Amino acid sequence: MSVYLVGAGPGDPGLITVRGLSLLRECDVVLYDRLVAPELVQQAPLRAVRIPRGSLSQEQINELLIGHGRAGFRVVRLKGGDPFVFGRGGEEALALADAGVPFEVVPGVSSLSAVPAAVDIPVTHRGIAAAVTAVAAHEPDRLDYPALARAPGTLVFFMGLAGLDRLAAGLIAAGKAAATPAAVVSSGTLPDQELVVGDLTEIAALATALEPPSLLVVGEVVRIAGRLGAAALRRVAMAA
């Protein structure tokens, strides 16, 4: 018996891995994050204990994982995207390792590439971007804008919607070209997915009506979406 840190994918329940789904269907306990699709939580057996993250602190989550793991239950910790991409999965793995509770990390499809892909943006298009920088932007005033403005390739900002104006202004002030294309994708891969595209000077104003979860993509790869446009088949979110 052990604890499985499972990536649920970016939103569409069809984007969990085969292994993740199979573990979920056999678990005794599932502890899940807010962004996880309800259709996935329903995949746990009826007898399974369902624990929403709600307002639990990280310490309380660690204690629950350790406690249920030690008690011999099969525990699935279901996390949005990939557990190790801005998901605090590393902290949970360390807590389990320190407590001597066996665990396994089951990677997930991260919004890092999947959400841009859902709007036809290939984050590392050959000849345009040979690097991608993933940035946690929930504290936009603490970012190293000169380093970000110099970074080659594509920039992908997580958790940055509330501070989008400061983010864009910080990049421009640090030397990033104002004409750099940018895209904000809200609820990527889900039926209510929304996309706005503009340059760095206008992207914040264009995105004011969008809701979290949202991802900001900055770089020339955004232009590829316009070229794929109508020819790209749209995925329809499907029940797992």
Ligand X SMILES: C[S@@+](CC[C@H](N)C(=O)[O-])C[C@H]1O[C@@H](n2cnc3c(N)ncnc32)[C@H](O)[C@@H]1O
Question: Could you list the residues that contact ligand X (CB under 6 A)?
Answer: 10-11, 35, 80-82, 85-87, 110-112, 115, 158-159, 185, 187-190, 212-215
Q: Which residues, 6 or more positions from 80, have their beta carbon under 8 angstroms from its beta carbon?
A: 7, 8, 9, 10, 11, 33, 34, 35, 36, 87, 108, 111, 213
Name the residue among 132, 128, 127, 84 with its Cα closest to residue 104: 84
Quote the CA–CA distance of 24 and 21 in Å, as a whole number.
5
What Å distances lie between residue 119 and 123, 125, 127, 128, 225, CA to CA? 11, 14, 20, 17, 7
Residue closer to ligand X (CB basis): 17 or 28: 17
Whole-number minimum distance, CB 177 to ligand X, in Å? 24
Name the residue among 31, 104, 119 with its Cα closest to residue 67: 31
Residue closer to ligand X (CB basis): 127 or 191: 191
Whole-number minimum distance, CB 65 to ligand X, in Å? 17
Residue closer to ligand X (CB basis): 85 or 167: 85
Whole-number minimum distance, CB 188 to ligand X, in Å? 3
Residue closer to ligand X (CB basis): 10 or 140: 10
Whole-number minimum distance, CB 207 to ligand X, in Å? 12
Q: Closest residue (Cβ) to ligand X?
A: 81
Spatial contact of 179 and 218, defined as CB atoms under 8 Å apart: no
Residue closer to ligand X (CB basis): 32 or 86: 86
**What are the tokens at 183?**
């895209």
Quote the CA–CA distance of 154 and 223 in Å, as a whole number.
12
**Kind plus residue range of the DSSP H or E element containing 165:** helix 164-173
Quote the CA–CA distance of 145 and 46 in Å, as a whole number.
49
Residue closer to ligand X (CB basis): 56 or 67: 56
Whole-number minimum distance, CB 11 to ligand X, in Å? 4
Whole-number minimum distance, CB 217 to ligand X, in Å? 10
Quote the CA–CA distance of 36 and 166 in Å, as a whole number.
29
Please report, as a single letter, which amino acid is at residue 9: G
